[in-house]
Structure 1
Amino acid sequence: MDGSTLGDPALVQFSGVLKWFAAKHGYGFVTCDETGKDALLHQNTLNEFGQTSIAPGCEIKALTRRTSKGAQIVEILELQAEPVPDFLPEGTSEQEGRTYLPARVKWFCEKKQYGFVNVFDDPRDCFLHLNTLAKTGLGMVNVGEALGVELDDGPDGRVVVSVKSWS
């Protein structure tokens, strides 16, 4: 923690990298760039920033408060996803000028690292891989969660090639 504050002397500005986050437990830890110590990131703080999940390796700028158990992130100021290699299935491509379509998560399995979404007013399933989520900083999605998706036609059907939180 670099010691700079924004108005409240109890708050300290913090920059670090997400070590891990478990949405099912409701928390994770971010390692401080400067000190190497961890700060707790609670699910509610992430939700207030407009996201329900986050991928390991994301860079975070935040405000922290010291508690009896250590530093806790109380507000996320900025979040940047770690660059991830392109793991899109063969036959898909990312093109400029696409529009995000509103969709809901139908099913997603963290263990299998994939799932399916449905674009509103379209019953067809669209394949969603965990690497696509990681490219935009989303670590996991929950059934029923609203997303913005960009689609492409793959050899076995429609594939999500880009995704964002729908807020």
Structure 2
Amino acid sequence: MSAETPAADGQFTRRRQQFRDWRGTRPFWAGLFVLLGGFPIMYFPYANLQFGNLTVAMSTTAGAGSLIIGVLLVVLGVSLWFQKHVRTFAGVAAILLALVSLPVSNFGGFVIGFLLSMIGGAMAVSWAPEKPRGEAPGSAVDDPNHLPGTNPATGANGRHSAG
């Protein structure tokens, strides 16, 4: 085997490349942030911390509301992965749920869940699908004055203009 011989792709390399390709076609990181933001919002209202012999119960009267907000954030995060066309709705809903979690759920999961959900929601709203590789920047597709069915090089009616 020489230095010029390409290495054979193993199963791990192929799967990693498939995951990378899949991840690049959707708001993956936005979904991950929203999903991870739901867990502290769900967990902290039901948690009991042990400090030696001292037990600190953080349960609140709004425990059910915290659970609902957390579950909805997890569902929105997963839907961002598998249904990328709902990205704007899911992003706005994640931002609103994160804001509602501040008064309902121990300051939004002690601000951890709040920040993760806000960042993920903002990333989801701002994500845009990649343009197809065949389109060159500055082509007729990007020109707002270009009318369909006309050739921008020859003129509006398709004939060369007589100079």
TM-score by length of 2: 0.22
| Larger proportion of helix | 2
| Larger proportion of strand | 1
Q: Which protein shows a greater Rg?
A: 2
TM-score by length of 1: 0.21
Higher relative contact order, chain-length normalized (CA < 8 Å, sep 6+) = 2
